[in-house]
Amino acid sequence: MGYFDAASAAPLHPVARQALLASLDDGWADPARLYREGRRARILLDAAREAMAEAVGCRPDETVFTSSGTRAVHTGIAGVSAGRRRVGRHLIVSAVEHSSVLHSAETFEAEGGTVTRVPVLRTGAVAVESYADALRPDTALACLQSANHEVGTEQPVAAVAELCREAGVPLLVDAAQSLGWGPVEGPWSVLTASAHKWGGPSGVGVLAVRKGVRFAVQGPVDERESGRAAGFENLPAIVAAAASLRAVRAEAAAEAVRLRALTARIRARVGAVVPDVEVVGDPLRRLPGIVTFSCLYVDGEALLHELDREGFSVSSGSSCTSSTLTPSHVLKAMGVLSEGNVRVSLPMGVAEEDVERFLAVLPGAVAGVREKLGAPVAVADAAVRGDALVVDALGKRCPIPVIELAKVIGEVPVGGTVRVLSDDEAARLDIPAWCEMREQEYVGEEPADRGSAFVVRRLS
């Protein structure tokens, strides 16, 4: 099995399937009713809540189930920011949060609030002092993911949570990617997660709000889930989510060791067997099963299709795989190469043989995509002006501007410059990343009649 996209959705755990089928027979009634069938459903719901709370590290009455992890995030941010409106209208998020957090931040701004977006290091991690600097007297809420969904980098949640506690500011932790591996450390205030990330069924989110956190439910309220998640509970899926999390946690310690060895093998081998590759993310403080790399001169979507034909399912943060043709906000915030990006996220139980087969297939897939791209612009299309050269890549998308730059850099003398004209948003990230990889100097971006001119000085 070549399914290597567990960070998007993990395969359904066998325990989840068993619990789901069993609870379809016993958990179909309304758990709010007092008759026999309702009482039986309530017992299942209460047991699932207790199991989930134990795994999260909070009280059962602090835990509610939502229709998704995204819904949990939206509800958590809206509820806490409204509950603390008297404190102020300032929200802190990291630049690499999941889109659900960033969309909530945009809504918060549209409603009159202010948002501080904390930058990250090139590894994808925030600096603890950056959160300390961002805290203000009017800060209603701070948000920080436990680990990044695209590159696997773990965040210093415990340290940031302690800072927030001392400042009297609640911290919301998006633990979607990490909860299957263990509880989130530190004095966090709000936590969200999604069952399909650890092998539970889709359509089950978790929202934990610790006692003492001011919370005002937004929108219509009913009696379900403490008023924080309206509507009839999907009881069979909730039972399966809690059962699978307990099962996954029982396997996590041993499986983490195995997956770390496999991802370390990928990180080491990719750079050895494929030229012009940048492996991104923190090499040590990262989730066990995720490894992400970017390939120069490769169209990300084309590479994903090539790997799919070879039987491997992977994902990408490349701008080429997005309908908006903009780079991944995570890769952009990190300042790393976005073109030809591949995220490999191994599911629990993955076979070592499948990883070896992937490493055997990858060089040919990358080479094939590069060969198909060919030489998009001949040297004659580059205008030489003394020790400067202008490449017109307007209207061309990644990775073409970088390919054209690479082909003509040798046409200018050492110390000379190449100006790449491009109107592709990805060029703003990928040309500086190319310069760092190839030890050339990125001079900067200049305005142009169309798009921008990205200036590179040849150093060698």
CB 203 within 8 A of CB 197: no
Burial class (CB in 10 A: 0-12, 13-18, 19+), 415: exposed
* Closest-CA residue to 7 (of 203, 178, 205): 178
Report the C-alpha gap between 134 and 387 in whole angstroms: 45
Beta bridge partners of 290: 345
The torsion angles phi and psi of 191, rounded to 5 degrees, stand at -135, 140
Neighbours of 210 (CB within 10 A): 16
The pair of three-digit structure tokens given for residue 151, joined into one six-digit string: 């590159």
CA-to-CA distance for 122 and 332, rounded, in angstroms?
10
* Burial of 130 from C-beta contacts in 10 A (0-12 / 13-18 / 19+): middle
Report CA Rg, the chain.
24
Q: CA separation (Å) from 294 to 96, 255, 279, 325, 328?
A: 17, 26, 6, 16, 12
> Which residues, 6+ apart, have CB-to-CB distance to 371 below 8 Å?
none
Q: Give alpha helix (H) positions in 111-234.
A: 128-134, 157-167
**C-alpha to C-alpha distance for 369 and 276, rounded to whole angstroms:** 14
Is residue 320 annotated as part of the catalytic site, yes or no?
Answer: yes
DSSP state of 347: P
> Which residue, 343, 331, 344, is CA-closest to 428?
331
- Number of CB atoms found within 10 A of residue 439's CB: 8
Q: CA 171 from chain center: how many Å?
A: 19
Q: Which of 295, 320, 398, 435 is catalytic?
A: 320
Alpha carbon distance 439, 430 (integer Å): 14
Can you tell me the distance from the alpha carbon of 283 to that of 212, in angstroms, rounded to the nearest whole number?
Answer: 37
Q: What are phi and psi of 291, to 5 degrees?
A: -140, 135
User: Which 3 state secondary structure label does DSSP give 104?
Assistant: helix
Local structure of 30: helix, strand or coil: coil
**Which positions are annotated as active-site residues?**
320
